[in-house]
Structure 1
Amino acid sequence: MRGATAGGARGATVEGVRIAWARTTPEERRDTGRALIRALAAELAPGSDVRVEQRCPVCGGPHGRPLLPQAPLLASAAYADPWVVVAVAREQDAAAIGIDVELEGAAPDLALLFAPEDPPDLRGWTAIEAALKADGRGLLVPPDQVRLSADGRATVPDGGEFLILPVAAAPGTIVTLALRRPSSGRPPTRRP
């Protein structure tokens, strides 16, 4: 399902996860991402406090995983200039989510991260980064330790398995969503 979201941004729903994207400038990308997250959060949890907080677990700066501490929601954000892409899901629908975006034709230098093996293609790289975001530790886990399987799953060491889903999003981008469904009978655990 595709359609317009708040502020002329575009959006989609994949496996119950709401995704939105918009063009932005490097200076406004975090503000644009937070605005998109708030708009999706207001749709998914009407009446909830949809304040977005970000605090880096390494340096304490105002960046890192977006959190909605007063709403029963999970969020993730990714940037590839000029695009910002966000994902928001209800905790009843997802135990963890992560999203990543790269520009088609981009050539990130991944050789050192994956040596002596060959680096993944862009779709594989977005899958790895999305899984690491869903895991909650990000690049604190060496990317070459993430295993991608042919059945559309990623396994993160000491972090478990995530469903990997391609997302048709902003033109000229490769977007991938990592998703873990909640375990039956247990509420999802929120990671910092």
Structure 2
Amino acid sequence: MLTRLAHPDGVVVGWRTVPGTTGSGRTPEARVVGRHLLREALTLLGEADTGIRQRCEVCGGVDHGPLRSDDAAISVAYAPGVVVAAAAHARAIGIDVERDAGALPGLDALFAPSPPPDAGGWTAIEAALKADGRGLRVDPATVVVADGRARVPGHDGTIAVHRVTGPAGYVVSLAIDPA
């Protein structure tokens, strides 16, 4: 399902279930589904889809790192059983998805001595870090999300963060850097 959001940046968000995925959800099948969703989103934006590419900005590898398009800002995220994707005419966007299970395992150490965020807070942080472009190279505990805005250390300005409708049982957050 792909949806065009009522947003000035013309955001398109979509998701598909990918049965049988576990762990992070980043299976080869899920990656194919993610790229397909991005192509559909680009089409809904009226873009030609001149190609989606992937290259790690740290090591130069092409099998990991953010997905990019010359046509629009794009982002994809995986969770067990689902893939979400977004595209927009904006400087950058980020999307993240987690099962809506309240507290997420493994975050205690990242946020100690403060309590870790719930699934909604974590997806907002991850989406903002993707929109920032540096991802988890920025300490997530230093990101402040409040009143629909995220402040990421070293980023010029704030990033808008929105909770968007996703598949039942999941939390999806979208971050938009419009400038």
Same fold, judged at TM 0.5 (above): yes
**Letter matched to residue 22 of structure 1:** R
Mapped partners of 2:49, 2:129: distance in 1? 27
Deviation, 1:58, is 2.4
Identity %: 46
Unmatched 5+ stretches in structure 1? 1-9, 183-192
Could you say what secondary structure the match of 1:163 adopts? strand
Q: Show CA shifts across 1:78-107 (max 9, x none).
A: 0001100000012xxx22210000011163
Alignment of 1:80-119 (within 5 A): 80-90=79-89, 94-105=90-101, 107-119=104-116
Conserved in 2, the CA contact under 8 Å of 1:11 and 1:169?
no
Alignment of 1:139-158 (within 5 A): 139-149=136-146, 151-158=147-154
- State the TM-score, normalized to the length of structure 1: 0.81
Q: Show CA shifts across 1:1-36 (max 9, x none).
A: xxxxxxxxx122232210010012433111110111
Mapped partners of 1:74, 1:45: distance in 2? 13
1:21 corresponds to: 15
Mean Cα displacement is larger for which, 118-127 or 37-46? 37-46
Moved over 3 A (4+): none
Deviation, 1:121, is 1.1
Q: How many residues align?
A: 166
Mapped partners of 1:49, 1:164: distance in 2? 26
Mapped partners of 1:50, 1:172: distance in 2? 34
1:77 corresponds to: 76
Alignment of 1:180-191 (within 5 A): 180-182=177-179
2:24 corresponds to: none
2:51 corresponds to: 51
Alignment of 1:175 with 2:175, yes or no, is no
Mapped partners of 1:124, 1:96: distance in 2? 20
Mapped partners of 1:50, 1:37: distance in 2? 12
